[in-house]
Amino acid sequence: MVASSIGGVSSATRAAWDADICARIASLDEFAVAEQLIAYLALSDEPSLTALLELAIEEDKTIFVPLVDRGDSLTMYRWTPADGTEIGAYAAWTPSVREGPAVRPSLSLVPGRAFDVGGHRVGRGKGCYDRAMDALEALGLTVGTAYDCQLFDAVPRRVHDRSVGCVVTPSRTIWPARVRSGPEAG
């Protein structure tokens, strides 16, 4: 089997993990009521959201994906697979068509290098998602997506770092408020 870029894990195992993450997110009440899905186009070490994007399209949800400019600002743009993608700043996949988001109930998916059970995340070091988090939270739940090996009891935090509303891995859905007051969900 071909190894993926996450610690030598096979492509088949990664695909199964990605499917589990997408299924967990699709089962959230917040996904059911969201009119918009604010997602990302996965880098090689991030969970792929392909199955969830396909489901969102079937359910007529509008999809938005980020564009990071050289000034490290994160802007979400409407996207469909027909629109295509291009390589943007920091070798991230970005939408080819640039149409801004409408303000409607949303579910926002946030990648990270690591998460902890309190919903804190370690990103790629530029603070793009941290700066965008207020706007994303105003639209609805923010969900961190990670593999189980990227989940820790605690991760380093700085003053500007922002947390997510829940973290979804292939085997768990963690609601930080519930972690502080009781057992985790999922």
pLDDT (0 to 100) of residue 69: 65
Domains of the chain: which residue ranges? 19-181
For residue 93, what pLDDT is reported?
A: 46
Are the CB atoms for 79 and 15 separated by under 8 Å? no
* Gap between the Cα atoms of 145 and 112, Å rounded: 7
Where helices occur in 1-87 by DSSP H, the ranges are 11-26, 29-33, 50-58
Per-residue pLDDT for the chain (186 aa), expressed as one digit of tens each? 333 456 788 999 999 999 999 999 999 999 999 999 999 888 888 999 999 999 999 999 999 888 776 666 777 778 777 665 554 444 444 555 555 655 677 899 999 999 999 999 998 767 777 888 888 888 899 999 999 999 999 999 888 888 999 999 999 999 997 543 434 444
Query: From the centroid of its chain, how far is CA 133?
Result: 12
CATH number of 19-181: 3.40.50.10420
